[in-house]
Amino acid sequence: MPFHGVDFLGIDSLFNEEELAVRDTVRRWVDDAVMPIIGDRYIAGEFPQELIGQMAELGLFGANLPEKYGCAGLNNVAYGLIMQELERGDSGIRSFASVQGALVMYPIYMFGNEEQKKEWLPKLASGEVVGCFGLTEPDYGSNPAGMITTARETDAGWTLNGTKMWITNGSTAQMAIIWAKTGDLDDPGSIRGFIVPTDAKGFTSKDQKGKISLRASDTSELALEDVCIPRDAVLSESAGIKSPLMCLTQARYGIAWGAVGAAMACYDEALNYAKTRMIFDKPIGSFQLQQLRLADMLTEITKAQLLCVQLGRLKDAGTMRPEQVSLAKRNNVNIATDIAREARRLLGANGILAEYQSMRHMTNLESVYTYEGTHDVHTLILGKAVTGISAFE
């Protein structure tokens, strides 16, 4: 059955015709291309590579970047709705698009020179090249400023050394945006971004085995051992830890929307199940226990939707602040994890099967809860924003 979304409060009236058309197109594509295969691919533990070309053709990569670089030139609300619909399918599919758009294309667009933009953005938009984003390290997750990957200037260009971990698309990518310190290890101001081809000598990627979450996604570890790249591979305008953090703000913005999609998928599944699953000669939806579950889910989804719309309008107006993104990411992913778990429970024994979606979303969302700033870190960002006192610096 096609997915019709959740709109209890007439929130569709807050979107314009193009935004709705974008959403409905992606929604339909997810129904046609993602839903029939995702359960099996999740079990198999593989990202559906065959979707990359289709996503590119639709224009999903870097969709909020300008048309002159081969992108769709959408506003941020339409971009958010794309993320919502993709994650309604699976967090792994949305993660792929988030990385390609917000973490690879965005830094090239923001910090690259015109030549780099012209060379890379059209290829990334068309899916000809897949990229990944190397910031996190084995010992530097919530504290990326402490990274120990280095870039040293040589006569020939730059030499990079270090290890990056939890890298989405890491083994699929042909190019990586690698963040490294060009100065002392205690100087986060010396962090700069580099465009590194993944077939460069000394660059290796290793699939991170044994995941119980985001199974339909490529998560890899990258090792850079004396990787030499030309002088012009540096993103010339990148300057300090602030640059990769700006990328994360973009990605987190998409995640705030995406989480709503995952929550909607679970609620929709739970609602349909509650209306049709008979027990004691009546549908389980006639019991107050399940009605409470559904009412709670609906309420939290509706609040999260409103957060997204307002955040999107702020972003389009150019006034969005990073801590506002933290609030939305923190809340929306948190409620989505709760909704997925409650939906799984409502589904009873059937809920543990991959034939249903809720448990897949439930396990995926544990990663989403943890990546792009853990729930806890966003709590501290908000704490700092309101008290003026940083708990972690």
Partner 1 sequence: MKIAVCLKRVPDTETRIKIGADGRSIDEDGVKFILNPYDEYAVEQALQLKDSAGTGEVTAISLGSSASQETIRTALAMGVDRGILLETDALPLDPVPIGKALAAELGSGDYDLIFFGKVAIDDYSHAVGTIVSELLGIPSVSAVGRLEIADGKGTAEREIEGGVEVVEFSLPAVLTAEKGLNEPRYPALRGIMMAKKKPLEIKPVELEEGGLSVVELSVPPARPAGRIVGEGADAVPALVEALRTEAKVI
Residues forming a β-bridge with 137: 140
Decide if 137 contacts 149 (C-beta within 8 A): yes
Residues within the interface to partner 1 (CB under 8 A): 1-2, 4, 17-18, 21-22, 25, 28-29, 57-60, 63, 67, 72-74, 78, 82
372 in active site:
yes
In whole angstroms, give the CA distance from residue 34 to residue 21. 19
- Beta carbons of 341 and 357 less than 8 angstroms apart: no
Place of tokens 């059209």: 122
Give residues with Cβ within 8 angstroms of 23, minimum separation 6. Answer: 5, 15, 78, 81, 82, 84, 85
Residue 155, C-beta contacts closer than 8 angstroms, at least 6 positions apart = none
Asked if 107 and 248 count as a contact pair (C-beta separation under 8 A), the reply is no
Supply 353's token pair.
Answer: 């099967």
Nearest to 257 by CA among 7, 90, 80, 95: 80
Active site residues: 372
